[in-house]
Amino acid sequence: MRALTWHGTHDVRVDTVDDPEIVNPRDAIIKVTSTAICGSDLHLYDGVIPSLKPGDILGHEFMGEVVETGSGSTLKKGQRVVIPFTISCGGCFHCKVQQYSACENSNPAEKQDLSAALYGQPMSALFGYSHLTGGYSGGQAEYVRVPFSDVGPVVIPDHLEDDKVLFLSDILPTGWMAAENADIQPDDTVAVWGCGPVGLFAIQSAILMGASKVIAIDHYPHRLELAKKLGAEVINFRETHVQDALMEMSGGIGVDAVIDAVGMEAHGFAFDNMLEVVKQKVGIGADRAHALRMALMAVRFGGKVSVPGVYGGMTDKFPTGAMMEKGVQLRTGQTHVQKYTAKLLEMIEQDKIDTTFLISHRLPLEEAPRGYKNFKEEQDSWTKVILKPGMAATG
């Protein structure tokens, strides 16, 4: 089959690789109909997540048709399914308390050492996201093996087209959980750093949860425009002093809740960020935490900090004083996708959530390398790229 494979920093290729096979009874094989490139994939593309190997198949946002099932799968051939990016067994302590992204059984023992050393305990497995998280092949491919297929997959009714439901695999639940983690109350002012797909869905979710004012921060005009259309007020950090503006917009006390939807590759020429760009390049200090620092400065005393943005290692000059003295509540994490899919699917069916407004490009899988390059270099207009394995080349 054809699949998007990683070969080094900024080097991804579509190669012919072996077809996946059923390995465990609970596996299923999915023929992929749609798969997306995520901001998280850019961290792999940029080489800032360790333990990828040349030839690894990327992709953790995908859906398709069930073509093969193991004896323990509850899926049926021909069903259309969206697959959560978190691989979860359903039976361990964490899965039972719906902390699916902390599953203890999905990351094989031989892959656990690095994450255990970094985080105290090993990570669970994710599709297509390095050997830290299990080394599972991802879904930017014609076919993919889905372990624990009796737990994660969401069966999709025929009348809902792929574009409407694909993002149940990650960014829609991620935006929702980001807003939930910000514990939004009806009168809250919420500031969101990053108007990529995750930030945009966090904005949409915060508004649905009743936030009275949402302020979106980015530097790309088109992305800010999308945030505005959702109902946010916007700040372009290249033009406006963000901290001053937020103080003014929050009546001088700081915002009630902040959401960092940027993560470990912040942009901008702020001194701390420039220093961290250099440190990241030479491999000392992996995370550029500029957006998180700004969020901690802007949140009010007693406010709420939610961090969907991915961080992987360590960072310096973390404002522990602002965090403690202000008594903030801080919540973060890889999304517990399976916890949210049923509710969000229902909201999509009821047209309460629009998932299609941010799709900017649909490309054949064969053109995935161009998709990565432009999603990275033309971020303003390339807001979300969907890859279609079955689509003819655009020439």
Ligand X SMILES: NC(=O)c1ccc[n+]([C@@H]2O[C@H](COP(=O)([O-])OP(=O)(O)OC[C@H]3O[C@@H](n4cnc5c(N)ncnc54)[C@H](O)[C@@H]3O)[C@@H](O)[C@H]2O)c1
Residue ranges in contact with Zn ion by CB under 5 A: 38, 40, 61, 88-89, 92, 95, 103, 105, 170
Among 4, 29, 261, 348, binds ligand X (CB under 6 A): 261
Distance of closest approach, residue 382 Cβ to ligand X, in angstroms: 9
CA dist 207 and 185 (Å) reads: 10
Among 122, 134, 309, 389, binds ligand X (CB under 6 A): 309
- Residue at 296: amino acid letter: L
291 binds, among ligand X, Zn ion, none (CB under 5 to 8 A by kind): ligand X
Task: Rounding to the nearest 10 degrees, give the CA dihedral for residues 370, 372, 377, 380.
Answer: 100
Distance of closest approach, residue 274 Cβ to ligand X, in angstroms: 12
Q: Are strands 80-83 and 61-69 parallel, antiparallel or unpaired?
A: antiparallel
Distance of closest approach, residue 329 Cβ to Zn ion, in angstroms: 25
Q: Can residue 167 be called a binding residue for ligand X (CB under 6 A)?
A: no
Q: Which residues have CB under 8 Å from 143's CB, separation 6+?
A: 1, 19, 20, 29, 30, 31, 32, 67
Burial of 96 (0-12, 13-18, 19+ CB in 10 A): exposed
CA dist 45 and 62 (Å) reads: 18
Q: What 3-state DSSP class applies to 365? A: helix
Distance of closest approach, residue 67 Cβ to ligand X, in angstroms: 27
Distance of closest approach, residue 21 Cβ to Zn ion, in angstroms: 23
Q: Can residue 42 be called a binding residue for ligand X (CB under 6 A)?
A: yes
Q: Can residue 125 be called a binding residue for ligand X (CB under 6 A)?
A: no
Q: Can residue 43 be called a binding residue for ligand X (CB under 6 A)?
A: yes
Return the range that interacts with ligand X (CB under 6 A); candidates 275-283, 304-312, 319-327, 387-395: 304-312
Q: Can residue 237 be called a binding residue for ligand X (CB under 6 A)?
A: yes
Distance of closest approach, residue 335 Cβ to Zn ion, in angstroms: 9
218 binds, among ligand X, Zn ion, none (CB under 5 to 8 A by kind): ligand X
Q: Can residue 266 be called a binding residue for ligand X (CB under 6 A)?
A: yes
Distance of closest approach, residue 23 Cβ to Zn ion, in angstroms: 18
89 binds, among Zn ion, ligand X, none (CB under 5 to 8 A by kind): Zn ion
2-41 positions binding ligand X, by CB under 6 A: 38-40
CA dist 214 and 257 (Å) reads: 9
Handedness of CA 271, 314, 177, 326 (dihedral sign): negative
Interior CA angle at 170 toward 166 and 171, to 5°?
A: 90
Q: Is 213 or 293 the residue whose CB approaches ligand X more closely?
A: 293
Return the range that interacts with ligand X (CB under 6 A); candidates 111-119, 140-148, 214-222, 360-368: 214-222
Among 70, 197, 364, 389, binds ligand X (CB under 6 A): 197
How many residues contact ligand X, by CB under 6 A? 35
219 binds, among ligand X, Zn ion, none (CB under 5 to 8 A by kind): ligand X
Nearest to 295 by CA among 232, 217, 225: 217
Q: Which residues have CB under 8 Å from 324's CB, separation 6+?
A: none
CA dist 54 and 388 (Å) reads: 23
> Phi and psi for 262 in degrees, rounded to 5?
-105, -55
Q: Can residue 181 be called a binding residue for ligand X (CB under 6 A)?
A: no
Distance of closest approach, residue 159 Cβ to ligand X, in angstroms: 27
Q: What 3-state DSSP class applies to 341? A: helix
Residue located via tokens 């691989």: 87
Among 6, 62, 143, 220, binds ligand X (CB under 6 A): 220
Which pair of tokens denotes residue 332? Answer: 């973060």
DSSP string, 80-105: EEEE-SEE--SSSHHHHTT-GGG-SS
Return the range that interacts with ligand X (CB under 6 A); candidates 27-35, 159-167, 169-177, 180-188: 169-177
Handedness of CA 260, 263, 268, 272 (dihedral sign): positive
CA dist 126 and 241 (Å) reads: 38
Distance of closest approach, residue 271 Cβ to Zn ion, in angstroms: 30
Q: Is 215 or 345 the residue whose CB approaches ligand X more closely?
A: 215
Q: Which parts of this chain interact with ligand X (CB under 6 A)?
A: 38-40, 42-43, 170-171, 174, 193-199, 217-220, 223, 237, 261-263, 266-268, 290-291, 308-310, 334-335, 379
